[in-house]
């Protein structure tokens, strides 16, 4: 009986994982891309008509698609930007050598531990226009004369969605950054302090440059996650008022499942996938360059 080599044995062990990934990952993606080339609606039964790129061309005249895309882009830019800034602040706090550090880390990470749907319903209760704590506090302090219908107006609904996502996810970013902070050698800081660099200079000349790979990774994760935002919108606004807070993922889900337009829904899903892959490849290249630059700097 032939004995397997070490390499062959490794491939054999990977086979179940590869099969699972192919069945539940690759096949659905390829089938979605294929269906996007057809006119295929639930209302017309199983009949499919090949139309090539017509569904993709249709996107450029779909005002609802552009509205969802613009909202998703704006939501992603604002939430990721604020989360990185707050993540840096929280990570610095959690990295301080003070008593009760463990308790501080637990408190900071509580919002991230709450399920997204539960978090969304919590915020929906807090901004309720009649008995929500937001209105109660603003009324009691004299900042408001009447209750604000937070989720019934375009601007305030978007603001609450962005605020709730920042509140929940900034702790996750801070956790990634904290891991990066703890890999920075203390000797570098001590040497810089001996050379006369104050805390601000040490932060911008040593800490931030060494955190660039970690920051790039955190931003990549958050951009991909924010671009696919769905659950918190369902819990808070369900895309309303009107379509003001409808994300690209929500529009895709409604087109595919609610409207039964499988062809156009698949095209929207494929577009989202391609855009996400472009962003991921860009940041992957950035991360690689930062790591290579860091390695060259340490030689």
- How far, in Å, CA of 182 to CA of 190, rounded? 15
Q: Are 216 and 281 in contact (CB under 8 A)?
A: no
- Cβ atoms < 10 Å from Cβ of 35: 20
pLDDT value of position 130: 82
DSSP 131-189: T-HHHHHHHHTTS-SS---GGGSHHHHHHHHHHHHHHHHHHHHHHHHHHHHTTS-HHHH
From 287, 291, 281, select the one nearest 216 (Cα to Cα). Answer: 287
Per-residue pLDDT for 8 more than 90?
Answer: no
Confidence band of 100 (pLDDT split at 50, 70, 90): confident
Q: What is the mean pLDDT of residues 13-30?
A: 88
Of 264 and 6, the structure prediction assigns the larger pLDDT to 264
Mapping DSSP onto H, E and C, the string for 89-144 reads: HHHHHHCCCCCCHHHHHHHHHHHHHCCHHHHHHHHHHHCCCCCCHHHHHHHHCCCC
Among the ranges given (71-75, 132-136, 154-158), the one the predictor scored with the smallest mean pLDDT: 132-136
Give me the long-range contacts of 284-289 (CB less than 8 A, separation at least 24): 284/220, 286/216, 287/213, 287/216, 287/217, 287/220
Per-residue pLDDT for 19 more than 70?
Answer: yes
Q: Are 53 and 270 in contact (CB under 8 A)?
A: no
Q: What is the pTM of this model?
A: 0.87
pLDDT value of position 122: 93
Phi, psi of 143 (to 5 degrees): -80, -20
pLDDT value of position 82: 94
Per-residue pLDDT for 295 more than 80?
Answer: no
Confidence band of 1 (pLDDT split at 50, 70, 90): very low
Of 80 and 197, the structure prediction assigns the larger pLDDT to 80
All structural domains of the chain, each given as residue ranges with its CATH number in brackets, are: 28-298 (1.10.3720.10)
Q: What is the mean pLDDT of residues 256-283?
A: 89
Per-residue pLDDT for 6 more than 80?
Answer: no
Q: Are 256 and 272 in contact (CB under 8 A)?
A: no
Per-residue pLDDT for 165 more than 90?
Answer: yes
Of 193 and 223, the structure prediction assigns the larger pLDDT to 223
Averaged pLDDT score across all residues of the chain = 86
pLDDT value of position 271: 93
């Amino acid at each position: 009986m032939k004995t397997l080599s070490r390499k062959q044995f490794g491939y054999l062990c990977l086979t179940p994982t590869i099969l699972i990934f192919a069945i539940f990952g690759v096949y659905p993606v390829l089938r979605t891309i294929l269906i996007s080339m057809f006119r295929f609606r639930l209302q017309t039964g199983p009949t499919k008509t090949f139309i090539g790129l017509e569904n993709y061309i249709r996107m450029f005249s779909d005002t609802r698609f552009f509205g969802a895309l613009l909202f998703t882009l704006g939501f992603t830019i604002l939430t990721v930007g604020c989360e990185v800034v707050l993540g840096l602040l929280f990570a610095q706090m959690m990295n301080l050598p003070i008593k009760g550090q463990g308790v501080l880390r637990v408190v900071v990470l509580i919002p991230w531990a709450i399920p997204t749907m539960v978090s969304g319903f919590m915020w929906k209760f807090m901004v309720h226009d009649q008995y929500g704590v937001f209105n109660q506090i603003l009324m009691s302090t004299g900042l408001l004369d009447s209750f604000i219908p937070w989720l019934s107006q375009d601007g305030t609904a978007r603001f609450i969605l962005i605020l709730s996502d920042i509140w929940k996810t900034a702790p996750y970013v801070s956790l990634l950054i904290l891991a990066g902070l703890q890999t920075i050698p203390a000797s570098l800081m001590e040497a810089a302090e001996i050379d006369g660099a104050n805390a601000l200079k040490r932060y911008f000349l040593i800490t931030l440059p060494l955190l660039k790979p970690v920051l790039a990774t955190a931003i990549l994760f958050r951009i991909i996650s924010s671009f696919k935002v769905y659950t918190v919108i369902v819990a808070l606004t369900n895309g309303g008022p009107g379509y003001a807070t409808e994300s690209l993922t929500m529009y895709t889900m409604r087109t595919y499942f609610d409207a039964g337009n499988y062809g156009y829904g698949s095209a929207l899903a494929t577009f989202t996938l391609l855009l996400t892959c472009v962003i991921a490849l860009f940041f992957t290249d950035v991360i690689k360059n930062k790591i290579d630059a860091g390695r060259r700097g340490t030689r």
